[in-house]
Each structure stands twice: as structure tokens, then as C-alpha cells.
Amino acid sequence: MTVAASTGASLRQPAGGPPGRDRILFTTLYFAEGVPIGFLWWALPSVLREQSVEVGRITTLTAALAVPWTLKFLAGPAIDRSVARGARLRNWILGCQLAMGFALLPLAANESLPGFRLLFALLLVHACFAAVQDVAIDALCIRTVPVDRLGNINGWMQFGMTAGRAVAAASVPMIIYAAGWQPAIGAIVALVWLPMLVVALMVREPPRPKDRVTDGGSGLGRLLSRALVPAMGVALLAGAGFEAVGALSGPLLVDLRFEPALRSAFFGAIAPLGLATGGLLAALIADRLGLRRAVAVGVLGSAVAATALGYSVSADTLPVGRISHLALFGAVYLGAGFLISASYACFMSVVRGSWAATRFSLLMALTNACESASALIAGRLVAPLGYGGALLALAGLSVFSLPFLRKLDLTGVKAHADK
């Protein structure tokens, strides 16, 4: 038992705001995060391709924009140290939101797409501030939301993120085609900046903690405690099944001979709706189930759905129609939305105390590593095993996260929730 757990110091957490206020605040913040992500990764590649930009340059851009999110844990120590010295997370969030918008504004200086190098540089700056803002928002949630409401709040956060992505992916190309490049950039900046009013009015941070004792000490040298290792295993493995589906869904839909309209419907409606519904389902029941059990349900649910999809697309299994394929895709994304929300809430519970922002962002970096590795492995397995075999293999890999899940120490969290 840690020093903090024995005294209850690390779990003495502010009561947080009213549940409705917390839901509005964090849903809005994650919506604002989702808008530029939907623009950069879902809408922009197709816009660039229509402008005759080479595919290699497009993928180089999207890969480079993912780097700040993979390395965002490097911002954790700066945020943790500043909070320990009395800084406000609200100021971190507001400052990053301002910088995110200002980084995009030069793109509206011309009526058409700017030069690729300028576009690359500005979007990379934007992504850096967006990644730092994400660390600050998660730290705010860890510090202010009671442990028995983390599942609910994380479900709403993922709903907001998915909604923001869908709005940007659906609306930005339409605005570009109808009114031009400048109004589209203006709309994105407005959606990034408008939540600043919500932050200014609704963020209520606890006072600077007097006692920073946790995990036997407060130094960065205690960052990789034994309590964090099982969470790292869950972060690396739990999402392998649904991440493989996400990586293969585009080419798989093409090879299944889905028309462009159906593919657009999938990415614009079915996938976001599945993620959002899964997040809301987690918001309703994850805290009641218990976070460990909720994560297990998400792992098994998404793995079963990915397995069923793998069998459905295998040449030697029962043939199914397009509606059945889409239903199975939707089931995978439903499980993914539930798993993402439940696992993030679980991680927030584990990292409470000193260096919380650093620890949580490290776990998020490992989930990004899971996404990259799953895509790479699944892609390499398609040639020898086919789509079905690749999906089955990665779905099976995700189940290996369950032994790590059993080793998570959530006893202190349960004790706090029971008070």
C-alpha cells in the first residue's frame, strides 16, 4: 500500500462541479478538440487530393501531424510542475486554444489553398498546441471530477470528440466547394475559439494541494511505479482489434465493392455514430459496472465484433450482404467507443496524485502506439492471411490485455467511491 493510499491523501479530491456542468464543460472542450482533428485527418486529405497534391505528400503531412500527439507526454512534466507551483490549468487551456486558432488564421489569407510548405508548417504548429491543450484538459478532468463520475464524464468527452470530428469532416468540404477556402478556415477557427467562453465561465479548479505525497514520493523518478505497469499493458493491447478494423476499413470497403456513396456514408455516419453511441453507453453504465469490469466488457465486445467481421469477409465463411457488413462495422465502432471511454476513465483513476498529467499522457501515447502497431501488423498480415485472418489475429491480440487489467490496483478508487 502506498503512503498516499494509507492516509487517503491522494484520493481526497474536490467534489467537482454539478454533474450537468461537468458534462457540458468537458463535452464542449472535446468537441473543440475534435473539430480540427476531423478537418486534418478526415476532410483535408480528400481536399488536397482534389487539388492534385501527390498522395505521398498528403500521407507525409498526416503522419507528421500525428507526431505531436504521440509525443504529447513530453508536455506533462511542464504542466504538472506549473500546477504544483500554483498555475491554473484554465490558463493552459485558454492559451493553447488561442494559439491553435492563430496558427490557422494565415491559411485564410488567400482565397485558395496556400503553398504546401506553408500549409505543412502552420498545421504542425497548430497540432503542437492542440496536443498540449489535450494534456491540460485531461489533467483538469483528473483533478476535478470525482472518481465515481469518471466513466460518465469520459463517455461524454468521447461523444464530444466524435461529434466535432463528424461536423468538421462533413461541413468543411461542403463550405470549401460552396463558398471557398477562407470561409471554411474561418468556421474552423470559430469552432475552436467559441468554447473559450465556456472555459472562462465554467472551469472551477481546486486550490493548490498542500500535500503532494503519492506512490511513496513526489519525484519524477517515481513516474513508472509498479501500479502504472499493468495500465501500460492495457493501453498497448486493449484496442488492437478495433484499431485494425479502422486501419483496414478503407481498402476493405473498396475490395468489397462498396460504391463511393456507401463509403462516404460509412465514414460520415456509421463510424462516428457507433463511436458516439458507445461513448454514451459507457457514460450511462461504466461507473455502475465498475471501471475494471467496464473495460473488460469493452475489450471483449470490440474483439467479438472484430472477429465476426473477420469471419464475414473471409472467402471460406458464410457470405453476407452489404447491410450485414455495415452492421458488423457499426458493432466494432460501438465497442470501440465504449472501450475508449471506459479505459480512459480507468487510466485517470490509476494516475491520480503527483505527475498525473505526465502519467496519463504517457498512457495516451501508448494507445497511439497501439494504433500504429495494429495498423502495421494488420497491413502486413493481409497478404498471407487475407482481411479476415488479419482481423481475427488482431482481435485475439487485444484479449491479451485482460491479464494486465486484472492486475490494476483500483482498491483505493473503490474505497473513495464508496464514501
Q: What is the pLDDT of residues 58-79, one digit of tens each?
A: 767 877 888 888 888 889 999 9
Is 180 part of any domain? yes
3-state class of 331 per DSSP?
helix
Are 61 and 86 contained in the same domain?
A: yes
CA proximity to 89, closest of 202, 183, 194: 202
Are 357 and 406 contained in the same domain?
A: yes
Are 200 and 321 contained in the same domain?
A: no
Are 232 and 137 contained in the same domain?
A: no
DSSP 350-400: HT-STTHHHHHHHHHHHHHHHHHHHHHHHHHHHHHHHHHHHHHHHHHHHHT
Whether 164 has a pLDDT exceeding 80, the answer reads yes
Are 203 and 226 contained in the same domain?
A: no
Set of cell numbers at residue 25 = 464543460
CA proximity to 182, closest of 106, 115, 127, 125: 106
* Beta carbons within 8 Å of 227's beta carbon, 6+ residues apart: 2, 215, 350, 408, 409
Summarize the confidence of residues 234-259 as an average pLDDT.
Answer: 82
Whether 340 has a pLDDT exceeding 90, the answer reads yes
Distance CA 409, CA 418 (A): 16
Are 164 and 237 contained in the same domain?
A: no
CA proximity to 398, closest of 351, 312, 339: 339
Of 34-38, 231-235, 413-417, the one with minimum mean pLDDT is 413-417
More confident residue, 248 or 223: 248
Are 201 and 345 contained in the same domain?
A: no
- Select from 175, 207, 239 the last residue of a domain: 207
Share of the chain above pLDDT 70, in %: 85
Are 203 and 123 contained in the same domain?
A: yes
* Confidence label for 55 from pLDDT (cuts 50, 70 and 90): low
- Select from 176, 207, 238 the last residue of a domain: 207
Total count of domains within the chain: 2
Distance CA 213, CA 38 (A): 40
Distance CA 125, CA 101 (A): 10
Are 341 and 412 contained in the same domain?
A: yes
Is 402 part of any domain? yes
Taking only the tens place, the pLDDT of each residue in 360-381 is 988 988 888 888 788 778 888 8
CA proximity to 234, closest of 116, 382, 404: 404
CA proximity to 296, closest of 351, 335, 334: 335
- The CATH number of the domain holding residue 98 is 1.20.1250.20
What pLDDT score does 412 carry? 45
Is 49 part of any domain? yes
Q: Is the dihedral of CA 85, 89, 93, 94 positive or negative?
A: negative
Contact 137, 31 (CB under 8 A): no
If you search the block for the grid coordinates 468537441, which residue do you land on? 31
- Select from 207, 240, 259 the last residue of a domain: 207
**Residue range of the domain that includes 91:** 11-207
b/e string for 41-56 if b means 16 or more Cβ within 10 A? ebbbbebbeeeebeee
* Beta carbons within 8 Å of 44's beta carbon, 6+ residues apart: 61, 62, 172
Are 202 and 294 contained in the same domain?
A: no
Is 213 part of any domain? no
Are 97 and 201 contained in the same domain?
A: yes
Q: Which amino acid would we find at residue 312?
A: S
Contact 65, 121 (CB under 8 A): no
Are 170 and 247 contained in the same domain?
A: no
Whether 121 has a pLDDT exceeding 80, the answer reads yes
Is 392 part of any domain? yes
